């Protein structure tokens, strides 16, 4: 979980039915079962082939497991099986592509190296009861959203505020549907939770804490972490005269939860969330997470033991199939590049994987040709880097000429070096946050007042006709990705057509959405000279050589996303 009471900091995720195709049902447990069994994803060699499906189930039984459910869209069987030896045994069958133990695919973690304390840093002013409207018809806290100014979100709203027939899926830790800036746009009917809380994992560790609801399954409008709610508010917080507004305040938010309370994302919930979102006709899916336990999933890394190689190949294939499935059904996929201050085209040695369970990591040399950061390096995903208020790439943000499609405001505490803005909490991104999570972390008291700890951590309260909402300053590529998802939703709102498969909604081919986003972005050339972050207190490892030109480069891709230009773009122009 993210810490509050100091600086709230967030990363990209960091930061993965009975036997039938996945349906809109709640999650099944991911925990040790009888006789020490654990859950596995068993990926078949093909989808839609009854003979392969039968042979795969037979292979699971022969390897000592039992199939409990499946996702037919990607050819994945979910099985309970012994904790050791199962992966290699079941993968020996001709019908099985590979298998992976239920362990994280993604996580929401703190940005590495950002100082958590704000000693001596000016705290944001506290807000009282909101007026009916903020300045120029905006919400009261919109004046604090420097990112809206950078991407012309407020100006775009006068042209296209977002259509209720457009739906954005948030694949994350959940969404707090009780937040007054989330509730007006939250679609409870379509939202699903594909995660079961794990009070104790197969290693005996306390993963998510005590279960709060029956069956350890949180309601679809619940978020213990806060990460998903923050992301959702950036996309589509309501423009209602109170609190703040999102980039696309008129569209609907759909929670497709794939993340544990602890911030980890397991493979099967991620795959299930993606294919479910495609089946119900979501227009955009935001993925602010990066793949764990492997910082990079490699196809055949000599440093990895045989089971680890099989599991990583399985993860690459399963996530790839799910992304292809979603793209083919009209979903624009947006992902954060990650917060490891790394050129994904020339990655450093990986010394942090696997990061689950604890103390399992070992050093690995990473080959960019065969090792992928997922989901952002998966098919059809628009990778987003993070910039600070100055427009410079944030020191923590990953980048890469091949991987970066667009840049967007993600926040950067260290921006403005040499000026009064340096290390100001307002350099971060303000968005919605669950009151319950802030109370649990001591940032808000039982009566609802923001405590001194919360003030130091960048927590605000704003009240209006719908009640009092809470807001937190965070930074990370997790905050940049939903800015692009919001603009993508505006593009579908402006240029989409009625969806014949899902009456009452709009649709637009994702390749066309991507063309509009890339073509309308503000071209931003590589900085000259090379950006060095040493003066801000970073090591030389953070220095970020930028390759490319103003049309496309490793820091900004095709440029900083521009909401106004996107909704006034001619979508038919080649």
Give the catalytic positions in this structure.
172, 227, 478
Burial 52-80 (b: 16+ CB within 10 A, else e): bbebbbebbeebebebbbbbbbbbbbbbb
- 276 phi-psi bin (left φ>0, alpha ψ -120 to 50, beta other): alpha
Q: How far apart, in whole angstroms, are the C-alpha atoms of residue 96 and residue 476?
A: 38
**Sheet-wide strand order for 96-101:** 66-71, 76-81, 38-44, 96-101
User: Three-state secondary structure along 16-57?
Assistant: CCCCCCCCCCCCCCCCCCHHHCEEEEEEECCCCCHHHHHHHH
Distance of CA 153 to the CA centre of its chain: 21
Q: How far apart, in whole angstroms, are the C-alpha atoms of residue 228 and residue 206?
A: 22
Which phi and psi angles does 285 have, rounded to 5°?
-125, 125
Give the 3-state secondary structure of residue 344.
coil
Cα dihedral 385→389→394→398 (10° resolution):
0
Length of the chain: 574
Question: 546: which 2 tokens?
Answer: 């930028």
60: DSSP letter: H
Q: How far apart, in whole angstroms, are the C-alpha atoms of residue 306 and residue 365?
A: 16
CB atoms near residue 481 (< 10 Å)? 33
Cα-based distances in Å from 537 to 110, 232, 474: 18, 32, 20
């Amino acid at each position: 979980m993210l810490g509050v009471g100091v600086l709230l900091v967030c990363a990209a995720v960091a930061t993965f039915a009975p036997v039938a195709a996945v349906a809109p049902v709640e999650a099944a447990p991911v925990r040790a079962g009888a006789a020490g069994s654990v859950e596995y994803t068993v990926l078949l060699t093909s989808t839609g082939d009854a003979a392969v499906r039968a042979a795969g189930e037979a292979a699971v039984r022969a390897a000592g497991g039992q199939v409990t459910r499946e996702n037919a869209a990607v050819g994945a069987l979910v099985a309970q099986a012994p904790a050791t030896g199962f992966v290699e045994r079941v993968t020996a069958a001709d019908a099985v592509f590979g298998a992976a133990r239920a362990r994280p695919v993604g996580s929401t973690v703190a940005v590495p190296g950002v100082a958590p304390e704000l000693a001596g840093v000016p705290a944001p002013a506290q807000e009282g009861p909101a007026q009916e409207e903020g300045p120029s018809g905006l919400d009261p806290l919109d004046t604090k959203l420097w990112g809206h100014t950078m991407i012309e979100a407020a100006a775009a709203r006068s042209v296209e505020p977002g259509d209720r027939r457009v739906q954005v899926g948030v694949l994350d830790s959940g969404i707090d549907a009780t937040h007054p800036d989330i509730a007006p746009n939250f679609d409870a009917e379509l939202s699903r939770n594909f995660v079961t809380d794990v009070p104790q994992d197969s290693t005996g560790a306390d993963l998510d804490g005590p279960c709060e609801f029956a069956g350890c399954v949180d309601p679809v409008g619940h978020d213990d972490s806060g990460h998903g709610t923050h992301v959702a508010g950036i996309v589509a917080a309501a423009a209602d005269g109170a609190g703040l507004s999102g980039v696309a305040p008129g569209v609907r938010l759909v929670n497709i939860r794939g993340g544990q309370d602890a911030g980890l994302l397991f493979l099967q919930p991620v795959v299930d969330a993606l294919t479910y979102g495609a089946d119900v006709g979501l227009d955009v899916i935001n993925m602010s997470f990066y793949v764990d336990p492997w910082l990079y999933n490699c196809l055949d890394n000599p440093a990895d033991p045989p089971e680890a190689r099989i599991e990583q190949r399985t993860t690459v294939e399963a996530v790839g199939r799910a992304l292809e499935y979603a793209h083919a059904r009209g979903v624009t996929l947006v992902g954060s590049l990650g917060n490891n201050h790394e050129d994904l085209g020339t990655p450093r040695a990986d010394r942090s994987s696997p990061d689950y369970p604890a103390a399992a990591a070992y050093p690995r040399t990473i080959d960019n040709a065969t090792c992928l950061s997922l989901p952002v390096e998966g098919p059809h995903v628009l990778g987003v880097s993070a910039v600070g208020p100055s427009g410079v790439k944030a020191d923590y943000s990953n980048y890469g000429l091949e991987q970066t499609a667009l840049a967007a405001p993600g926040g950067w505490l260290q921006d403005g070096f040499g000026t009064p803005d340096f290390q100001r909490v307002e350099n971060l991104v303000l968005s919605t946050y669950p009151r319950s999570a802030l109370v649990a972390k001591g940032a808000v008291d039982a009566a609802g007042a923001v405590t001194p700890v919360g003030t130091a951590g960048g927590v605000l309260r704003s009240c209006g006709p719908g009640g009092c909402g809470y807001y937190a300053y965070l930074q990370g590529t997790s905050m940049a990705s939903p800015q692009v998802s919001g603009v993508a939703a505006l593009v579908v709102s402006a240029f989409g057509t009625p969806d014949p498969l899902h009456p009452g909604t709009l649709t637009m081919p994702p390749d066309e959405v991507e063309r509009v986003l890339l073509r309308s972005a503000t071209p931003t050339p590589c900085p000259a000279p090379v950006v060095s972050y040493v003066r801000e207190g970073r090591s030389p490892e953070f220095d970020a050589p930028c390759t490319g030109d103003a049309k496309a480069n490793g820091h900004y891709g095709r440029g900083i996303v521009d909401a106004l230009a996107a909704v006034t773009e001619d979508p038919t122009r080649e």
